[in-house]
Structure 1
Amino acid sequence: MKVRNKSGNENIKTSGTSGTRKIKDEPNDATSRICLALALVPMGRVVTYGSLAELAGLPRAARLVGQTLRKLPKDTRLPWHRVLNAQGKISLPEPGAERQKKRLENEGVTLLNGKVDLGIYLWPKPGEL
């Protein structure tokens, strides 16, 4: 059975399940907010999935940030490579992890043992916004 959610996107309810699944991948308000916040991250700085969610006004939505980044077009100009996990590590599998590492290093971000020092590179620092 097809249903429409509050934002007008079409969902599908499958029998025997308790929920619905989105069947359209149209941008929504959350996606737009994540992309706008990501565009603000300056070169040579990084954010965590959780802090990007907070910046987008979506607290506790770190997984949504990851899902949104995964759906970005390959040729996006958004700085997806500046997003790391809460430990300052790259979460992507290869070969994406190597691409992300190279992009960060090209911006002057240092990775030591596969980890970025968030004390140095995390954005924003208190008072920067």
Structure 2
Amino acid sequence: MNIFSILIPKHTLTYLNANDPLDQAVAFLLGATYTAIPVVDDQGRYVGIASEGDFLRAVMEHGRENLAKYKVADIVNKDEGAKVLNTVEKDEIMERILDRNFLCVVDDRDCFIGIITRKSIILYLKN
């Protein structure tokens, strides 16, 4: 499996910066259709994934009016299992995608380069 044939590249995706204010990220996600979104640092390296649940917990814990005091980095899920190298083998992709809607793909410097979705894998295997 050529991962690049199913990769959705970073420049076509929406993602958050770990230093983004939490209130702005919540406002953005309220208008989006995403349930989870990749998070990168200022150098473009993968930090983790922020999900609706992560944002909801932050709102419940701190109150929406206090979210400006926090950054996305404060709530991000640093699940390393949601990240794969661009040289990953098919078996590992299949194992990891079972529990997720998408996997974040990084290069050997840990820079985020895009995602592969469960749907893109299924469509690839269908052909």
- TM-score in terms of structure 2 length: 0.28
Query: Larger Rg: 1 or 2?
Result: 1
- TM-score in terms of structure 1 length: 0.28
Which has the larger share of helix?
Answer: 2
